[in-house]
Structure formats: structure tokens, C-alpha cells
Amino acid sequence: MDLKIYKDKKEVAEQFSNYLVDQLKDKESFHMALSGGSTPKIVFDVLADNFADKVDWNKVHFYWGDERCVPPSDDESNYKMTVEHLFSKIEVPKANIHRILGEKSPTDEAIRYANLLEINMDRVEEVPQFDLVILGMGDDGHTASIFPHEIELWDAEDHCVVATHPDSGQKRVSINGKVINTAKEVAFLVTGASKAEKVEAVVEKTEGSEAYPASLVNPSSGNLVWFLDEAAASLLK
């Protein structure tokens, strides 16, 4: 596990952008699963504003690790956030954007999206292999849209699952643990003091950490890197 700790969200965003440029070097095509949340929002702004000309976006295929089951115009939509902070500022071929159709039936969309991943990507033991999966950690400990209260979804047979937000009941489509752990690279983007206790539990594997899906992220042959700000890393020894 590679821990990279930076001063603040902005520096996390800058350093992650450098890492992404490096990952893209010498690649013909690059299949990347995005995450929602406030940290990716800043990452997308930095990527678009300072790194746009350092990347050949034509070779990047954008997917989402999870999406809320809402229309793409809804403020809750991870796709909408990505359009506002990234796609509205860089040239990406429409064919390279593979949205989770939140406005469809969650169950049908989970099946459709899993099939899309399997068609579009190389597979390892029949599991679609992303070049990079970006993950975050919510204040409640969810990662992608696998929540602690339904952590059994992590090991679901289906590569895409239907999750339910514990408070709002909102339905979400999320990739499962097998897809995450098959990726060549997995990068956590976690910032803010509210994450510090959970980061400490997961990174130091303390008692109770198994309640958090993040503790199950362990790429079988890929590389795991954490991009943290000092606030989120403040309890690490």
C-alpha cells in the first residue's frame, strides 16, 4: 500500500493529476472508473485547468465506479458533476464517455453496465480489468457505493450491483469488489478530518476496520495508492 500525504485537497489534486499523466504514458487506450464526491470535483478542475494539454484524451475511456439512480441533470448525479468540472472544459470524444444510466431501472442498468464493461475491456478470469479505478471514502465509510450496512454487495457475483443509501434510500449502481480488485491501479482520493478515524482503521487494520469496504480493497495483481491530505492522515502513526 502506497500512502501519499499532501498538505491539502488542492495538492492532492495536483499530485494525483501528475500520477494520472504518468499512468497514461505509453498507453494506447486507458479505461478509467471515476468517483463522485468533493475530492474528485477538485481533481477534475485541476486536471482540466492545468493538465488538459498534457493528456491525449482521445485514448481515455471514462466510466464510473458508481452512480446515483437519478437523471443526468440532477445535482446528485456524479456524471453531472464530471461534466461541470471536466467534460465542459476538455475535448473528449462522446464515444469515450460510458455513463451509468441513472434514469433507468437500477436492476436493468446494473446488468447493462456489467455487460458493457465486459465487452469494452480485457478480462482477467472473466472480470473486466480497468486500467485505473478511482475511489473515495464517504463520512459513513462507503466506498464506490458499497455501504457498510450492505457490505455483502462487495462479494456479489454480479460485477455491478444495486446499492441503497442508508439514510435517503436512494438507489445506486456500483461496481463490486471483484471488479475493483482486478484493476491494474486503484487510487483512493481521501481528504478532510472527518475521514481521519476511518483512514486510520483501514490503513492500520485496527479492530472493526472490516466494517468498511475500503478495508477490502486489495488489488490481486494491481497497485493500490492512497492520495491523502494531512487532515485525513492526521491519526496515522
- To ligand 6PG, the closest distance from the beta carbon of 126 in angstroms equals 25
In the complex with ligand 6PG, the residue whose CB is nearer, 112 or 165, is 165
Q: In the sheet that 30-34 helps form, which strands lie side by side, from edge to edge?
A: 2-6, 223-229, 185-190, 132-135, 30-34, 60-64
Q: CB-wise, 12 or 114, nearer to ligand 6PG?
A: 12
The minimum distance between CB 53 and ligand 6PG, in angstroms, equals 26
Q: How far is the CB of 214 from ligand 6PG (least distance, A)?
A: 10
For ligand 6PG, the closer of residues 55 and 133 by Cβ is 133
CB nearer ligand 6PG, residue 31 or residue 119 = 31
- CA 20 to chain CA centroid, nearest Å: 13
Q: How far is the CB of 28 from ligand 6PG (least distance, A)?
A: 28
> Quick one: 4 or 59, whose CB is closer to ligand 6PG?
4
CB of 181 to ligand 6PG, least distance (A): 16
Rounded Cα distance, 120 and 128, in Å: 8
Q: Give the integer Cα–Cα distance in Å for 190 and 199.
A: 8
**Type of residue found at 24:** L
In the bound state, the residue with its beta carbon closest to ligand 6PG is 136
Q: How far is the CB of 21 from ligand 6PG (least distance, A)?
A: 21
Q: Whose Cβ is closer to ligand 6PG: residue 142's or residue 159's?
A: 142
Contact 187, 19 (CB under 8 A): yes
Q: Where are the alpha helices (DSSP H) in the chain?
A: 9-24, 38-50, 78-82, 106-120, 177-182, 196-203
CB 121, CB 31: distance < 8 Å: yes
* Complex with ligand 6PG: residue 69 or 127, whichever CB lies closer: 69
The residues binding ligand 6PG (CB under 6 A) are: 35-39, 66, 78, 136-138, 142-145, 192
Determine contact, residues 210/201, Cβ cutoff 8 Å.
no
Whole-number minimum distance, CB 11 to ligand 6PG, in Å? 15
Number of Cβ within a 10 Å radius of residue 138: 21
First and final C-alpha spacing in the chain: 15
**CA 211, CA 145: separation in Å to the nearest integer?**
14
